[in-house]
Structure 1
Amino acid sequence: MIGKIEFKKRRDFGQVINDTFTFMRQNFKPLLKTYFTFCGLFVLASMSSMLVYQYKMVNMINTVGSDKSSGGFSFGNIYGLEYFLSLLFSLATYASMTVAILSYIALYVQKGNQIPTMEEVWGYFKYYFFRIFGSSIVLILMVFIGFIFCLIPGFYLFPFVAMMFPIMVIENGTFGYSFSRSFTMIKDNFWVTFGTLIIVWIIVYACMSMVVLPTTLFNMIGMFTSKNPQMSLTLSMITTVLQSLCQAFTIIPIITISLSYFSLLEQKENTGLMERITNFGNTNKTIDTRPEEY
């Protein structure tokens, strides 16, 4: 039987991915409880605004060329208030999830691999939420601008941006400190960190796609096989709801970047090794005793 995951240890590419899913499996219920407790309101707000936007878009598509059409695909019709609200609440959902899961992990490590209470997570959450939310806006704009320039700068910044959030929460870092610290930690391990995150995100997107694929396919089949092609409002709404619920899958990359953070920290500073040496002989703490690779 595998013991509880010890974050403060060196890991290679495969170990980070394996331990991501091991930690998720071992903490599945408390992680979901943390997610819905602190992110549920934002998820509902995001889902509601997306449903309103989807309703508007489906009606717009289905009435194109008819007398009921009102303005067609004008900028104002496509990018209305509900569109920007859905973006805002989606960003708030991701920021709240990032803070909640990172707070859970930070407390888990501090308590010696013990599950934290919701009250303890709330103490972290209310302190870091607005810092992460504000930083997310700046970082998304930064990565977006990077992608505009032939994609390469955006992909290059991706692991550094992802690493900033664990630094902010676990080390209580400011935006500037976290930005420079992420470059310091990753610069000699860029490809390993980048590859690990890409693989995990591919897995996550594959899982999310499998959930929404049936309703999407039925909607497309119905649209292109009927004499009067129209999108199904019901199927579109169901797809939107499923997409919102599938955001829970993005807990997985947050665990991955946290494991990568502690692995890189161990390579740079050996904090976990020194802690284990200090606590040598203490049998009260159950740790993951699998050998480290140096």
Structure 2
Amino acid sequence: MEQKDIRFRKQRDLGVVISDSFDFLKQEAKPIFRMIGIYVLPFVVLYAGAQVYFQRNVLSQFDLTNPESLMADIGPFYQNLFMFMFFGLFVQSLLMGTYYSYLEAYIKHGKGNFHLTDISSKFFSNSLLALGANFIFVIMVFFGAMMCIVPGLYFANTFSLLVFILIFEKKGISDALNRSWKLVNSSWWNTLLINLIAVVIVYAVGIVLSIPSLIMGVSSTIFSTEITNPADYPNWYWVLNAISSVITTVLLVIPFTFQAFQYFNLAERNDPTTPLAPQE
């Protein structure tokens, strides 16, 4: 495949945002996944292990037929759930911070004008920025969802560009919130469709990967009298679940790429003469 320097700062319609995103991922797959493999994959594997532990050893302890036992176990359950969700948020933020550091270098310096060692020092700081922004994002979406599903969906879409703007423009969280609000609301439905397509792609892959596990679970429930608890499923069942979790987590680079291209598309449409970030 012919290698080219893909231009991010450009107006695009929905189809071009998606096609250019996949062109970029296809062309830059080797350095991107090498970077993820070195800096992020160990934490993704730990997260997959935590997910298996939570499913196998926490959820399986609930006895829905015994209300007293259920109430006694609810405290430890929420503690484990909170720790699992926090670790998942950390891993996603690490992936975002690392990947967006690569995008930032690619956009500012151009293809072939930097090496991973040149930007590795930024991975940790950008991941911390992503973690803080994701905390704020989750809190807003959570309270929006508590009021009603619609406000939660509105906040999730409106601030979907928050982390990329914070890392790329480096003007602080308040400015990033305002910027995401302004840009997304200039093309809210278009951005929603882009985000939904990205999520559907990732979850479709996850569903395909989980088919063997689903078949195992259903067949064990229907045909087996020996396996009544998910904790009793064979080890290969949990290995498949872990592999599926690792792959779907890494594939989050797809929506992250969609959001980066959509950011530049909306920025060029709304204020094409304004510098998007200080050049290094």
TM value normalised by structure 1 = 0.82
1:242 and 2:243 are equivalent in the alignment:
yes
Question: How far did 1:105 drift?
Answer: 0.7
Contact 1:265–1:271 (Cα < 8 Å) also in 2: no
2:203 to 202, 205, 215: 205
Contact 1:30–1:115 (Cα < 8 Å) also in 2: no
Matches within 5 A, 1:69-80: 71=69, 74-80=73-79
**What's the CA shift string for 1:30-78, capped at 9, x where partnerless?**
11112222212321332232233233136526x8889xxx945720353
In structure 2, do the counterparts of structure 1 residues 272 and 225 end up closer, same or farther at CA, with 3 Å as the change threshold? farther
1:113 and 2:114 are equivalent in the alignment:
no
Question: How far did 1:228 drift?
Answer: 3.9
**What's the CA shift string for 1:215-241, capped at 9, x where partnerless?**
122122112221244231525422431
Report the 3-state secondary structure (helix = DSSP H, G, I; strand = E; otherwise coil) of the residue aligned with 1:270: coil
In structure 2, do the counterparts of structure 1 residues 222 and 116 end up closer, same or farther at CA, with 3 Å as the change threshold? farther
**Larger deviation, residues 103-112 vs 72-81:** 72-81
User: What is the match of residue 151 of structure 1?
Assistant: 149
Distance 1:198 1:137 in 2: 21
Contact 1:144–1:154 (Cα < 8 Å) also in 2: yes
Q: What code does the residue aligned with 1:111 have?
A: H
Aligned pairs, how many?
A: 269
1:258 and 2:260 are equivalent in the alignment:
yes
Superposition CA RMSD, Å: 2.7
Distance 1:163 1:219 in 2: 38
2:97 to 77, 82, 99: 99
1:123 and 2:121 are equivalent in the alignment:
yes
Distance 2:156 2:211 in 1: 27
Distance 2:113 2:206 in 1: 27
Q: What code does the residue aligned with 2:111 have?
A: N
User: What is the match of residue 213 of structure 2?
Assistant: 215
**Larger deviation, residues 118-127 vs 255-264:** 118-127
Contact 1:197–1:256 (Cα < 8 Å) also in 2: yes
Matches within 5 A, 1:31-70: 31-57=32-58, 59-60=60-61
**Larger deviation, residues 7-16 vs 179-188:** 179-188
In structure 2, do the counterparts of structure 1 residues 124 and 236 end up closer, same or farther at CA, with 3 Å as the change threshold? same
Q: What code does the residue aligned with 1:145 have?
A: F
Contact 2:216–2:237 (Cα < 8 Å) also in 1: no
Question: How far did 1:19 drift?
Answer: 0.9
Contact 1:159–1:193 (Cα < 8 Å) also in 2: yes
**Larger deviation, residues 4-13 vs 236-245:** 236-245
Contact 2:48–2:243 (Cα < 8 Å) also in 1: no
Whichever of the two has the greater Rg, that structure is 1
In structure 2, do the counterparts of structure 1 residues 205 and 192 end up closer, same or farther at CA, with 3 Å as the change threshold? same
User: What is the match of residue 133 of structure 1?
Assistant: 131
Question: How far did 1:102 drift?
Answer: 0.9
Contact 1:9–1:272 (Cα < 8 Å) also in 2: no
Q: What code does the residue aligned with 1:89 have?
A: F
Identity in percent: 21
1:184 and 2:182 are equivalent in the alignment:
yes
Distance 2:138 2:46 in 1: 21
Matches within 5 A, 1:16-31: 16-31=17-32
Question: How far did 1:18 drift?
Answer: 0.8
Distance 2:119 2:76 in 1: 41
Q: What code does the residue aligned with 1:56 have?
A: N
Unaligned ranges ≥5, structure 1: 274-294
**What's the CA shift string for 1:181-240, capped at 9, x where partnerless?**
111212221111111111121111111211122212212211222124423152542243
User: What is the match of residue 278 of structure 2?
Assistant: none
**What's the CA shift string for 1:92-147, capped at 9, x where partnerless?**
11001111111111100111233742223323222222122122112101101112
Unaligned ranges ≥5, structure 2: 276-280
